[in-house]
Chain A
Amino acid sequence: MSTAISCSGLVKTFGPLRALDGLDLEIATGEVHGFLGPNGAGKTVTMRVLLGLLRANSGSVTLLGGDPWADAVDLHRRLAYVPGDTNLWPNLTGGEVIDILGDLRGGLDPHRRADLVERFDLDPRKKSRTYSKGNRQKVALVAALASDAELLILDEPTSGLDPLMEAVFQDCILAARDEGRTVMLSSHILAEVERLCDRVTIIRQGRTVQSGTLSELRHLTRTTISATTREPSDSLEHLAGVHDVRHSDGQITFDVDSDALDPVVRALAELGVHSLTSHPPTLEELFLRHYGDELADLDVAPPVDPGARSDEATRS
């Protein structure tokens, strides 16, 4: 499989601040790649380096086989970008902005443009200054999605969109993947990333902390098990690899390290199982584990059962 984006050891400093501190990133052609990290982790800076808007201090970057700084103009014919905070010219209409941006990507397919404008429920005759944040975001999304770009770089593209528009967006991204386009998607909405992304990269303080498919990442962490048993289940608490035990209404819920799953399930079976549910860690749980120490510093308790709802929704 060929590579659409490859960064290694990327460093970008702004004065004393090291915004990127040796970042590594591999995005294969044709995949939808989730790019996650807390605010200030360096997601937007990375994207700006990939677009040749910022020049990295050191490290190597390849984008669509070229150098994003030196070959910016040629490479940009093949990609479309949606910034996280879309600023439009206040006195131009949304439709005018879509065409201006679209023409810079080699023109838009008029049918697709009309279709997207309708699906996103956007009035292209209104001046940009009257648009809400969500509508400004739609303008940028239509301009990007109606193009023939082979690579889409999307920086938190759904912030400000309502759930209905969010669903339209997800359909568009899945369609783009089916067309063989590559998508780099930074997002805070983990359910969206779980639904759309083949692989994810999690970064923090300018460094990559984890990268892989969701199942690979899950393997590295814990599975959540809830059970009711005939015998008292207190003995489970002391098994190796069992964490965060909660009791309620005679039901026990706990997290298990993946490599301790086998002995724990055996011990559970000994107790006589009435009911049992287990689910793999949600992306939100993965995320919280990586930032858990930051949360602890901030004295914020992680949610008791994070992501269970979205997990069921996406797996049904």
Chain B
Amino acid sequence: MIAFAGTGRLVRLVVRRDRMRLSLWLVLLGVIIVSSAASLPPVYPDQADIDNYVELFGDNPALVAFAGPGYGFDDPNLGVILVNETQLWACVGVALMSIFLLTRHTRAEEDVERAEHIRSAPVGRHAPTAAAIVVVASANLALAVVCAAGFIALGYQVAGSLALAGSFVAVGWVFTGVTAVSAQLASSARGTLGLAAAVLGASFVLRAVGDIGDNALRWLSPIGWAQSVRAFAEEAWWALAACLVASIALLLVATWLTTHRDLGSGILPQRLGSPVASPGLRRPLGLAMRLQRGAVVGWLAGMFLTGVVYGSIGNDVEQMIEDNPTYADFLAQLEGASITDSFFTTSFTMLALLSGGFAISSALRLRAEEGAGRVEPLLAGSLSRTTWALSHLTITLVGTVLVVAAAGLGVGAAHAVTTGDAAQVPRLAGAALATVPGVLVLSAIAVLLFGWLPRAALATWAALGVAVVVGILGELLRLPDWSRSLSPFHHVPALPAEDVAWLPLALLLALAGAIAAAGLVGFSRRDLRTA
């Protein structure tokens, strides 16, 4: 047990370092999951509503891919809807939480050479990893307890509630193990995140294909195992045991690998790169493109898929609202437009808010580069501050257009497939682009804060939060009209339900340009701030 000496103290260190981060993950995931559970009973008050839901969602392959296999749909209850609505995304959420937190406290510590301080102390070889695993596994368990308690308090059956919450913790633990192994194989935190995320992506796709085809592929996915617990549909508890066995096996593998590599190195060989910079990379724009390339590609793929989800249900929306009018509250209330087009207008607002995540993080790259001390050597060369900032903001601008267009293409493509009308692709992709000026206002706010209040630049996310609250929940919360005009998306023409109006788009673009320009003026006048 000497190899685990000091684990207890290190657990306290991890908790102390991450008390905010852990709380945020738990509160965020807990609130989203439990509030989804709370939102269902009013929408599906009696068995007829539940039956309607199952009828609509039961055999749409896109929904099966993004919701789950629909265990219990042959004899549905409200719990089955809860599983269909929350299980898959909660599992992805806890998996991401486990991947990020465990990487942060294992491989990332080695990257910055902090692990050496710890390992040079009287601390066992496995103690740092063990401490991180204890904390992450406990976080998963705590989340599951909160969710189970929430479900039961909301009146869901006890056994089903426990099984559903158990599936969260099961997936969380498996991915804790997956990340622990990845941290041994990869030679950097980035590589660890990439490996573990690839396993998560493969797990998602394998079970999606397996669920759609109702075949054995789903058994290759830990998420598939967790779903097979059949919460609220004659629970099969062995599925959770399978996850537990898998996570223990993964931890044993990680432990074995730890003893077969040096601190700071990885099992997988490190790939070598180019010894010289290509001509493109030597220009500021080329450098910015290289630095943001990964994020842009990831967002393009993610937003396209999300668009597909929205597009695939467009054709069913009319039927859904006929069956259950409470849905109408979620949609933009637009006169003279078809319900389907109103749904797409609402979808584009949602997708625009998501794209805001890209636009803001891309613009905040300025601050990240500055804080990490990587701008200093550039600006000590013959590069002006404005040129440098514009190189990154060009990527933000072009990336935002592409990301929004990808989402629109996803919606259009899926809708075209379900309706057999290819003209929907350009129509809906074009409609999505109308939200771009609104998204750009968000990145402009990031630039403004970066220029004048660099330490508060992260507050830009609060602007996105305001846009989400007034844009999505405004109708439900009956917020006053003036508050909704705070969101840039309130001023975007409601395409495709309404006709295009160029003036507001031009004004929003001008506003974004002016705000960003003001931010750049601030940046050119202030001290550079590292860290």
Contact = CB atoms under 8 A, between A and B. Distances in A.
A54 B527 contact: yes
Interface string A55-90: 100000000000000001110110111010111111
A89 B291 contact: yes
Interface in A18-77: 48, 51-55, 72-74, 76-77
Interface in B167-222: 187-188, 190
Interface residues of B, number: 34
B276 A96 contact: yes
Contacts of B111: 129
A93 B527 contact: no
B380 A51 contact: yes
Say whether chain B's binding surface is mostly helix, strand, loop, or mixed. loop
A106 interface: yes
Nearest to B276: A95
Interface in B272-305: 272-277, 281-282, 287, 290-291, 294
B120 interface: no
Contacts of A153: 380
Nearest to A94: B275
B384 interface: yes
A111 interface: no
Interface string A287-316: 000000000000000000000000000000
Interface string B491-531: 00000000000000000000000000000000001111000
A87 B374 contact: yes
A83 B376 contact: yes
Contact of B273 (A81, A85, A96): A96
Contacts of A93: 272-275
Given A96-B277, A103-B282, A126-B273, A54 B378 contact: no
A100 interface: yes
Contacts of B294: 91
Contacts of B527: 53-55
Contact of B290 (A72, A85, A92, A103): A92
Interface string B377-401: 1111111100000000000000000
B465 interface: no
A269 to B, nearest CB: 56
B426 interface: no
Contacts of B291: 89, 91
A278 interface: no
Q: Of residues B276, B287, B377, which shows the largest number of chain A Cβ atoms within 10 Å of its Cβ?
A: B377
A46 B384 CA distance: 20
B473 interface: no
B382 A105 contact: yes
Contacts of B187: 130
A266 interface: no
26 contacts: A52-B379, A53-B528, A55-B527, A74-B382, A76-B379, A76-B380, A83-B377, A87-B374, A89-B374, A91-B190, A91-B290, A92-B277, A92-B281, A92-B290, A93-B273, A93-B274, A95-B277, A96-B281, A100-B281, A124-B275, A125-B273, A126-B270, A127-B270, A127-B273, A130-B188, A153-B380
